[in-house]
Structure 1
């Protein structure tokens, strides 16, 4: 097992130091408190400052935590707030649909599953929290890309591998598909990511009207569709959209129009 990286440990120690106590400290105080050479402390602070994790007051030269840490912290809190507020509604969706339910957020060019409710039967299932789903073929990915311009740009700029014969990969075809998703307010994945599986998902918006996540159900294609070659079951679409609306309202997004 590899050891820790000393420079990262020292950077973390500086951030913790600035996060407590006086909040603003000079180079000499930081170095002496942590037992570092001034040159070493200065080099780490300069790097942290370049990345936005630390700021330096121009008048006093003292250091404090930077805005980038606040942004990352808010992102962490947003995900946990989203998950906390979705717990009851996703449980209800799993019970009413009889299928497994996923809650996902955009992450590194894909969809990160942050919550997973098992299908309410006795079948053997595996927890999928932490798994990644593709943007271009998964229902949650398409729901997010259709309502978030940043995610849409990432999807169109990235490689779009073909997972099954049904996977849509062409740029123009993907753009047309996202337009349909925006108009109807929900997305589907009918054996586009995995053979034999189908999903339906709808976006979740926060109080700013931003699509911060997506909620969806996944099951065998014959249960999600009315027939093998038919449309998605309307009752399943309605249940997913109702769940997304409920979570959106709990996040303070009720004043925004939700398709």
Structure 2
């Protein structure tokens, strides 16, 4: 059984200590509360301070939680708020379309699936929450790359792997796809990531009009497409779902 890393345990204990009780604590208070030598406590505090997790008051020398923790906390809340706001709408989309629905966000140079609604039939399906999808080939990834500057940078600065013969990998061609996505408000993946699978996705915006995620319908090509093109009613349904979730997040009408 792997052992825990002591320095990380001590850092976590220090953050919990600063999160409770008094707003600011001195080095001696922190060290004595955690049973640490002052030198050890000071070293951990300096590391946490360098990473933005702890701040030191210039006047008193006391320590408090830093802004980086607030940023991380807000990110956590944003993801969970997005999922909570999307639950009813994605259920409705799966039911009306007859296909599976995925909700994704940008994470570690890819798309993290944070919610998955099964196709409403009796077929055997695997829950994909927590799965990662590529940015450059999937419908979710293209939408995020088109609307989110960070996702765009991550998609264009890396080598784009060809998953099938249809995968667009050349930078100029990929940028043209993103321009098309922004122009029409949705993205497609017709056998670019998986043979026989097609998907359509639209962006979700928050109250600041910033892209916070994307929603997609995914299914077999013969069901999602008609004569090689995505079925227009599915495109409309995905876009309306994205608009509804965006409105619930405070984006207003658009």
Range into which the TM-score falls when normalised by the shorter chain: over 0.9
Structure 2 residue aligned with 1:158: 158
Structure 1 residue aligned with 2:240: 242
- Residue-by-residue CA offset, 1:41-93 (whole Å, 9 max, x unaligned): 00000000000000000111000000000000000000000000000000000
Give the secondary-structure state (helix, strand or coil) at the position aligned to 2:172: helix
Give the secondary-structure state (helix, strand or coil) at the position aligned to 1:217: strand
Structure 1 residue aligned with 2:249: 251
Give the secondary-structure state (helix, strand or coil) at the position aligned to 1:96: helix
Structure 2 residue aligned with 1:185: 185
Q: Report whether the alignment pairs 1:221 with 2:201.
A: no
Give the secondary-structure state (helix, strand or coil) at the position aligned to 1:52: coil
- 1:65-80 superposed matches below 5 A: 65-80=65-80
Task: For residue 159 of structure 1, report the CA deviation from its aligned partner.
Answer: 1.8
Quote the Cα distance in structure 2 between the aligned partners of 1:26 and 1:221: 63
- 1:45-56 superposed matches below 5 A: 45-56=45-56
Task: For residue 158 of structure 1, report the CA deviation from its aligned partner.
Answer: 1.4
- 1:5-24 superposed matches below 5 A: 5-24=5-24
- 1:11-160 superposed matches below 5 A: 11-160=11-160
What is the CA RMSD across the aligned residues, in angstroms?
A: 0.6
Give the secondary-structure state (helix, strand or coil) at the position aligned to 1:111: strand
Quote the Cα distance in structure 2 between the aligned partners of 1:2 and 1:100: 38
Structure 1 residue aligned with 2:194: 194
Quote the Cα distance in structure 1 between the aligned partners of 2:102 and 2:248: 18
Quote the Cα distance in structure 2 between the aligned partners of 1:129 and 1:159: 26
Q: Which runs of 5+ in 1 are unaligned?
A: none
Task: For residue 231 of structure 1, report the CA deviation from its aligned partner.
Answer: 1.2
Quote the Cα distance in structure 2 between the aligned partners of 1:251 and 1:47: 36
Quote the Cα distance in structure 2 between the aligned partners of 1:94 and 1:150: 29
Quote the Cα distance in structure 2 between the aligned partners of 1:23 and 1:128: 41
Structure-1-length-normalised TM-score? 0.97
Q: Which runs of 5+ in 2 are unaligned?
A: none
Task: For residue 23 of structure 1, report the CA deviation from its aligned partner.
Answer: 2.2
Task: For residue 238 of structure 1, report the CA deviation from its aligned partner.
Answer: 0.2
- Residue-by-residue CA offset, 1:203-244 (whole Å, 9 max, x unaligned): 0000001100000010001111112xx211000000000000
Structure-2-length-normalised TM-score? 0.99
Give the secondary-structure state (helix, strand or coil) at the position aligned to 1:165: coil
Task: For residue 111 of structure 1, report the CA deviation from its aligned partner.
Answer: 0.2
Figure out how many residues of one structure are paired with residues of the other and give that number.
254
